[in-house]
Amino acid sequence: MSFRRAARLVCGFAGGSAVLVFAAVVADKHGYLRERFRLRETPTALHAAWLAANGWDYNWDKRDPSSTVNGKRKERAGDSGSPDTENNKPKATRHIFLIRHSQYNLNGNGDKERVLTPLGREQAELTGQRLAVLGLKYDLLIHSSMTRATETANILSKYLPEVELVSCDMLREGAPIEPVPPVGHWKPEAVYHEDGARIEAAFRRYIHRADAKQKEDSYEIIVCHANVIRYFVCRALQFPPEGWLRMGLNNGSITWLTIRPSGRVALRALGDSGFMPPDKLTQT
Tens digit of each residue's pLDDT (9 = 90 or more) over 164-195? 999 999 999 999 999 999 887 666 666 788 89
Give the range of the structural domain holding residue 51, as residue numbers without chain letter: 3-55
Cα–chain center distance at 25: 26
Q: What burial class does residue 42 get, using C-beta atoms within 10 Å of its C-beta: 0-12 exposed, 13-18 middle, 19+ buried? A: middle
Please tell me whether residues 51 and 99 are part of one structural domain: no
Please, which pLDDT band fits residue 198 given cuts at 50, 70 and 90? very high
21 and 151 part of one domain: no
Name the burial class of residue 34, with classes exposed (0-12), middle (13-18) and buried (19+) by CB atoms within 10 angstroms of its CB.
Answer: middle
Q: What is the pLDDT of residues 21-61, one digit of tens each?
A: 333 333 344 443 343 334 344 555 655 565 566 689 999 99
- Over 50: is that where the pLDDT of 8 sits? no
Same domain for 150 and 30? no
pTM: predicted TM-score of the whole model, two decimal places:
0.79
Domain harbouring 214, CATH code: 3.40.50.1240
pLDDT the model gives residue 120: 98
pLDDT score of 2: 46
Whether 89 maps to a domain, the answer reads: no
